[in-house]
Amino acid sequence: MELVVERLEAGYGEMQVLWGVDLKVEKGSFTVVLGPNGAGKTTLLRAIMGVVRPWRGRVVYRGVDVTSLPPHRKVAMGMTLVPEGRRLFPELTVEENLVLGAYSRGFKGVEEGLELVYRVFPRLKERRGQKAGTLSGGEQQMLAIGRALMSRPRLLMLDEPSQGLAPKLAAEIIELLARLRDEEGLTLLMVEQNVAAALRRADMVYVMEQGRIVVSGPPDKVASIEDIRRAYFGL
């Protein structure tokens, strides 16, 4: 297993958000966590990454207990998170934003990193000299993912990468992510509210409600559960 989350609890101040989340992410898989607004999906990724400190439970990455390690140590071990809202530097060029993604590696391997990103996202290569703020929403999301790839992760976690994108663009992002799994061997853990496209490519799906996993299984199994169909697929 690439990642094992056991009985994870976390929150903010007095407010508990995660109530004992169990999750397994197989190496080389595309795992998707679905759930409504406020279910705790962002908090789950933050707690796994260590941006939010877990209260109880464990996070095990490649057999190592990393529960209380700070985020930068996790990045160095091969975990990375593409946060919600992209957080790019709009006044810097595409390539400058990418190079900053190699900061955690002390800017080692920048050339190889750029080569990888431009192979996966040829559109970023075309626009490498353009300011990030002038890119379209879909291109900005590609750049956010590309910047995360510059730390050469093995486990790439993504917080709602399709947010704010038209359905066609969202589907394109999902296809690109599936390529990262298929061609680069990356493991993907993505949280989403909006899912039809993600489901076509996912290997495993977890459904989260009010800080708990309520259903899990392969996408066809999960999508066949009537309540889930109605709530998440608009069927």
Binding region for ligand ATP (CB under 6 A): 12, 17, 35, 37-43, 193
Q: Tell me the C-alpha distance between 122 and 184, whole Å.
A: 15
Q: Which is nearer to ligand ATP, 35 or 101 (CB)?
A: 35
Burial of 64 (0-12, 13-18, 19+ CB in 10 A): exposed
Closest distance between ligand ATP and the C-beta of residue 68, in Å? 20
Alpha-carbon radius of gyration of the chain: 17
Within 10 A of 114 (CB to CB), how many other CB atoms are there? 21
Closest distance between ligand ATP and the C-beta of residue 117, in Å? 26
Q: Tell me the C-alpha distance between 91 and 89, whole Å.
A: 6
Q: Which amino acid is located at 84 in the chain?
A: E
Closest distance between ligand ATP and the C-beta of residue 5, in Å? 14
Q: Tell me the C-alpha distance between 156 and 49, whole Å.
A: 11
Q: Which is nearer to ligand ATP, 34 or 102 (CB)?
A: 34
Ramachandran quadrant class, 46 (left: phi over 0; alpha: psi -120 to 50; beta: rest): alpha
Closest distance between ligand ATP and the C-beta of residue 119, in Å? 31
Q: Which is nearer to ligand ATP, 42 or 80 (CB)?
A: 42
Q: Which is nearer to ligand ATP, 37 or 129 (CB)?
A: 37
Q: 172 and 161 in contact (C-beta within 8 Å)?
A: no
- Taking the CA atoms of residue 148, residue 149, residue 152 and residue 157 in that order, the dihedral angle to the nearest 10 degrees is 60
Closest distance between ligand ATP and the C-beta of residue 39, in Å? 4
Q: Which is nearer to ligand ATP, 17 or 176 (CB)?
A: 17
Closest distance between ligand ATP and the C-beta of residue 42, in Å? 3
Q: Which is nearer to ligand ATP, 14 or 111 (CB)?
A: 14
Token pair 């996070």 is at which residue? 59
For residue 141, give the H/E element and its range.
helix 137-149
Q: Which is nearer to ligand ATP, 68 or 210 (CB)?
A: 210
Closest distance between ligand ATP and the C-beta of residue 35, in Å? 5
